[in-house]
Amino acid sequence: MVGALSQGGVIGNEVFNAERKCLITDASTTVLKATRGKLAHVSIWAVGTTFTLDIYDDPVTSNNRVWQWVTADGKKDVDLNFPMANGIVAITGGTPGGITITFS
């Protein structure tokens, strides 16, 4: 369902809550999106050992952290729906588990 909305004085199309997804199963820096968008949902389905996840509103560096998770937090399904002004980058570390991030 596409609707019209006003954003910054401009009429546009509604962006789906989660039209893209990314599966991460290693320690890495993953640029999900290099422009503004929405961080919709994070699902941690395998915790690994000492696995960490930091998500930033910045496509090129670790500035503006908006969400953090560590192995001790356990498995989680979290609806976030965060507007991201600059881009979305996920940085994982430690011994890998499994994460799915949905975004648009």
> pLDDT below 50 — which residues of the chain?
1-10
Where do the structural domains in the chain lie, given as residue ranges? Answer: 16-103
Determine the Cα–Cα distance for residues 49 and 97; give it in Å rounded to an integer. 7
Q: Where are the alpha helices (DSSP H) in the chain?
A: none
Residues 69, 90: contact at Cβ < 8 Å?
A: no
**What confidence score (pLDDT) does residue 4 get?**
26
Write down the pTM of the prediction.
0.81
The pLDDT value given to residue 67: 96
* Pair 90, 43: CB distance under 8 Å: no
For the segment 13-34, what is each residue's pLDDT rounded down to a tens digit?
555 566 899 999 999 999 999 9
pLDDT for the residue numbered 63? 87
Among residues 36, 87, 100, 39, the alpha carbon closest in space to that of 60 is found at: 87
The listed CATH number (3.40.50.1000, 1.20.120.1630, 2.60.120.340, 2.60.40.420) that belongs to domain 16-103: 2.60.120.340
Going by C-alpha positions, the residue among 61, 68, 51 that lies closest to residue 88 is 61
